Amino acid sequence: QKKRIGVLVMSYGTPESMDQIEAYYTHIRRGHPPTPQQLQDLKDRYEAIVGGFFPLRENTNNQVKALEDKLNSAHPEIEFVCYQGLKHASPLIEDGVEQMAKDGLKEAIGVVLAPHYSVMSVGGYIKRAKDKADELGLSMQFVRSYQLHPQLIEALTIRVNEGLARFEGVDKNDVRVIFTAHSLPEKILEMNDPYPEQLLETSKAIAAKVGITNWQFGWQSAGQTGVPWLGPDILDVLQTITEEKQAENVLVCPIGFVSDHLEILYDLDIEAQKTAKQLGLHLERTRSLNTDPLYIETLSDVVYALVEKG
Ligand code: FEC
């Protein structure tokens, strides 16, 4: 009999229909319902991305299936069984852990579909899974980050090269590459959080592989919570680039996200694109990883490394 190992694949989660948006948003806000205006704004953003279609759900399903296939084909001596655990939608992280225990699994590994660790992002996923696993007597180990995995860097390098090639007749060093990730409240800096540094590590590794020096990092998708969030925001970066005549062409590479979803399809493709047009900038965005085999290999590798460690 093969050894069975559960893999809890954790990701942000998304509503499945327009009428689930309120419950989803309330969960994100830790039980505080949004005002009617906030709710409408969010509905409008989902409407704007291909008419209220929720691509993150299908992308996550595909990534999880691809990871399970990859783990089982790369390591046939073990049976890997993947489960989903979502931060803000069903099945919740706790549901995923519970299902593993119900299915009789004794050992499991948790991995988040986000490469960079912050106590407020990945740390939160891990804490919820660990608390539930401890309660149910399931032994779990966790992947914390994989921001420099060679296959991840390779996949992102390919995308940056591809993006640069879209600026026909423009030298690659005349295009400003902006690497982005989801902003977080500034207070993470007081906690010595590794998030900003890990994001710079990924950015530097890609820039070195592509062979570019004309790049910078910018934050995106900051929340409106009344406390300061990490900046500069991508929209301010575009403004500065224009005012200081630093570049006319920009390529945005959202390294903090691995899938097409609202923060890419709205915040970058609609909002940032609109700002760029107003400023007269030519803005392109690199393709998302989704089920790129290099990304799936990255996930499979970091999960298996924990199996080997034992
Ligand atoms: O496509 C989709 O349906 C979901 C897109 C989505 C992703 C995502 C990723 C991250 N978030 C992170 C942190 C925060 C913090 C707050 C916050 C708020 C929202 C809201 C929506 C939303 N997030 Fe999100 N996030 C996505 C969607 N996020 C919608 C609520 C409206 C708004 O503020 O825009 C603020 C919570 C609060 O109010 O206190 C903090 C981080 C990530 C990237 C890492 C990860 O994937 O976990 C960090 C995708």
Ligand 1 centroid to 113 CA: how many Å?
14
Mean pLDDT, residues 32-58: 92
Mean pLDDT, residues 110-135: 98
Fill in the DSSP letter of residue 271: I
- 53 pLDDT higher than 90: no
Pocket test for ligand 1, best of 84, 87, 195, 263 (most atoms within 8 A of CB): 263
Tokens (6 digits) for 154: 């390779």
Ligand 1 centroid to 186 CA: how many Å?
16
- 20 pLDDT higher than 80: yes
Ligand 1 centroid to 75 CA: how many Å?
34
Ligand 1 centroid to 166 CA: how many Å?
30
Mean pLDDT, residues 41-61: 91
ipTM: 0.92
72-to-4, 81, 96, 102 alpha-carbon distances in Å: 11, 9, 20, 21
Ligand 1: which residue has its CA nearest to atom 17? 223
Mean pLDDT, residues 150-178: 97
- 51 pLDDT higher than 80: no
Cis, bond preceding 15 (omega within 30 deg of 0) = no
**Each residue's pLDDT tens digit, 79-108:** 999 999 999 999 999 999 999 999 999 999
Q: Are strands 215-220 and 139-142 parallel, antiparallel or unpaired?
A: unpaired
pLDDT (0 to 100) of residue 188: 96
Pocket test for ligand 1, best of 24, 32, 182, 257 (most atoms within 8 A of CB): 182
Residues having CB within 6 Å of any atom of ligand 1: 12, 14, 25, 28-29, 42, 54, 56, 114, 121, 182, 184, 223, 225, 256, 261-263
pLDDT (0 to 100) of residue 52: 72
Reported as type and span, the H/E element at residue 99 is: helix 93-102
19-to-40, 49, 256 alpha-carbon distances in Å: 12, 16, 28
| Ligand 1 atom nearest to CA at 261 | 1
Is 94 annotated as belonging to a binding site? no
Phi, psi for residue 227 in degrees, rounded to 5: -120, 155
Ligand 1 centroid to 261 CA: how many Å?
11
**Each residue's pLDDT tens digit, 264-296:** 999 999 999 999 999 999 999 999 999 999 999
Stated pTM of the model: 0.96
pLDDT (0 to 100) of residue 50: 80
